[in-house]
Amino acid sequence: GAGVSQTPSNKVTEKGKYVELRCDPISGHTALYWYRQSLGQGPEFLIYFQGTGAADDSGLPNDRFFAVRPEGSVSTLKIQRTERGDSAVYLCASSLTDQSEQYFGPGTRLTVT
Amino acid sequence: AQSVSQHNHHVILSEAASLELGCNYSYGGTVNLFWYVQYPGQHLQLLLKYFSGDPLVKGIKGFEAEFIKSKFSFNLRKPSVQWSDTAEYFCAFSTAGTALIFGKGTTLSVSS
């Protein structure tokens, strides 16, 4: 059975550029979460989808960050005008419902130069 | 604010030693509690979870954790560690229908 997959595994971009990070959840999981993990820290919540809609986006740091999940499966995290402070590992997780355990993907390591 | 405190940043043990990693959360209501582990080069994996019922929870690889509500604690234990337990350990909690709130993690190094 396939787990959560994320692409790309690594992304290097220049300051000011736009990036998209993709997450493919476990089939049938209705809840999808994005987290960001900086060096030496635990994952920090960004946004959570229940189906196609964002149930909670209170963790997005500012309006440069946006995420979509148009068909209730794959999700894309979009970052505009990237800054060096955006460098981190971006983690995606999915769960069967929003009351059950979350399964994490391998993450995308984003480096902004 | 809701948060998780993991008391030990880096723990170094010899094989066969006993392990206890501290975790305290700050939230006044009902919580779901988790320990995740991240082995070198691998992604986060669930070690064990508590939703309700028996406060002593057993997980994979001989790990267990005890939920003490009065202390807002969920400490992780293992009676005898192995070299393969070398990893980073994260305590986390969620409330109904919310995302996980993680601690900063504890790095465990086990020497053979």
Mutate to test the interface with B, among A104, A108, A109 (most CBs of B within 10 A): A104
CATH number at residue B94: 2.60.40.10
Domain of B65, in residue numbers: 3-111
The SS3 of residue A93 is strand
What are the tokens at B57? Answer: 């929870």
B100 at A interface, C-beta within 8 A = yes
What are the tokens at B104? Answer: 């900063």
A20 at B interface, C-beta within 8 A = no
Q: Which of chain B's residues have a Cβ under 8 Å away from the Cβ of A102? A: 46, 100
Q: pLDDT, tens digit, for every residue of B32-84?
A: 999 999 999 899 999 999 999 999 999 999 999 999 999 999 999 999 999 99
Q: pLDDT, tens digit, for every residue of A57-78?
A: 999 999 999 999 999 999 999 9
Which overall architecture, per CATH, does domain A5-9+23-98 show?
A: Sandwich (2.60)
The SS3 of residue B109 is strand
Cβ–Cβ under 8 Å, residues A90 and A82: no
- State the pairing for strand pair B87-94/B32-38: antiparallel
How far is Cα A39 from Cα B4, in angstroms, rounded to an integer? 17
The total number of structural domains that make up chain B? 1
